[in-house]
């Protein structure tokens, strides 16, 4: 999901470009540090990671970098992903 943020940042100009590029790498680093952790902690990290992408997408939308329909799609997809992760978390052994 963060790869799209990289694409938005690449077409930006000014101070937003380096900030957007940094923000696009953070989700991969975030989940990397949870590799090898117990499954419940990994699930919680995934939930936090997906939820934290929404403000970044909102910022891209406000900068005019994302298409008009982008944020509505991301909110829907994030809701579905979070729902699935919560179900998975509740049924972990």
pLDDT of residue 2: 82
**H runs (alpha helix) in 63-90:** 70-90
Enumerate residues 6+ apart whose C-beta is below 8 A from 79: none
The full set of domain ranges for the chain reads 2-90
pLDDT tens readout for residues 48-61: 999 999 999 999 99
pLDDT of residue 52: 93
- Residue 67 carries which DSSP code? -
Compute the C-alpha angle 22/9/54, nearest 5°.
75
Q: With contact defined as beta carbons under 8 Å apart, do 82 and 51 qualify? A: yes
pLDDT of residue 1: 74
Rounded to two decimals, the pTM is 0.87
Q: What is the mean pLDDT of residues 3-29?
A: 91
Q: What is the mean pLDDT of residues 44-72?
A: 94
């Amino acid at each position: 999901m963060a790869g799209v943020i990289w694409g938005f940042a690449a077409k930006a100009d000014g101070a937003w470009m380096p900030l957007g590029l940094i923000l696009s790498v953070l989700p991969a680093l975030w989940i990397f540090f949870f590799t090898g952790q117990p499954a419940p902690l990994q699930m919680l990290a995934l939930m936090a990671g997906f939820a934290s992408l929404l403000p970044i997408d909102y910022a891209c939308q406000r900068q005019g970098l994302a298409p008009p329909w982008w944020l509505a799609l991301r909110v829907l997809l994030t809701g579905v992903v979070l729902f699935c992760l919560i179900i998975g978390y509740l049924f972990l052994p």
